[in-house]
């Protein structure tokens, strides 16, 4: 079983729509959680950390459910520039990456 599992998508949404997806992780001892964004043929870039109480960063909202071991990301009012692959990342001392969820926002 993979340490981090994600729905690969793709999620194709129109501009302005809300899109949400999540991932599950297997290591209950994981300490830190992140969402990274990766554009085609580019390096991953940190989008946001995920805190137990849930947190927002502009149009992005992340939630963590430790009991069920899943993490979610919601994007509101999606923009064309949000088109990317979103990587769910779980950390004990090293990062474990999901394979990514592809989001395509269309005009």
Partner 1 sequence: GAGVSQSPSNKVTEKGKDVELRCDPISGHTALYWYRQSLGQGLEFLIYFQGNSAPDKSGLPSDRFSAERTGGSVSTLTIQRTQQEDSAVYLCASSPGTGNQPQHFGDGTRLSIL
Q: Which residues bind partner 1 (CB under 8 A)?
A: 4, 31-32, 34, 42-46, 49, 87, 91-100
Residue with tokens 């043929």: 41
Q: How far is CA 37 from CA 1, 27, 94, in A?
A: 23, 22, 18
Shortest distance, position 34 Cβ to partner 1, whole Å: 6
Shortest distance, position 87 Cβ to partner 1, whole Å: 7
Residue 17 or 104: which CB sits closer to partner 1?
104
Burial 11-33, CB ≥16 within 10 A → b, else e:
bebeeeeebebbbbbeeeebeeb
Residue 11 or 34: which CB sits closer to partner 1?
34
Shortest distance, position 4 Cβ to partner 1, whole Å: 8
Spatial distance between the Cα atoms of 98 and 52, rounded to a whole number of angstroms: 19
Residue 74 or 99: which CB sits closer to partner 1?
99
Residue 43 or 58: which CB sits closer to partner 1?
43
């Amino acid at each position: 079983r993979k340490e981090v599992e994600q729905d690969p998508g793709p999620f194709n949404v129109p501009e302005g729509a809300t899109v949400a997806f999540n991932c599950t992780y297997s290591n209950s001892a994981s300490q830190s959680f992140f969402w990274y964004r990766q554009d085609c043929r580019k390096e991953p870039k940190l989008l946001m950390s995920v805190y137990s109480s849930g947190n927002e960063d502009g149009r992005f909202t992340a939630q963590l459910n430790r009991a069920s071991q899943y993490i979610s990301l919601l994007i509101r009012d999606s923009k064309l520039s949000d088109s990317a692959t979103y990587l769910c990342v779980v950390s004990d001392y090293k990062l474990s990456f999901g394979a990514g969820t592809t989001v395509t926002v269309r005009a």
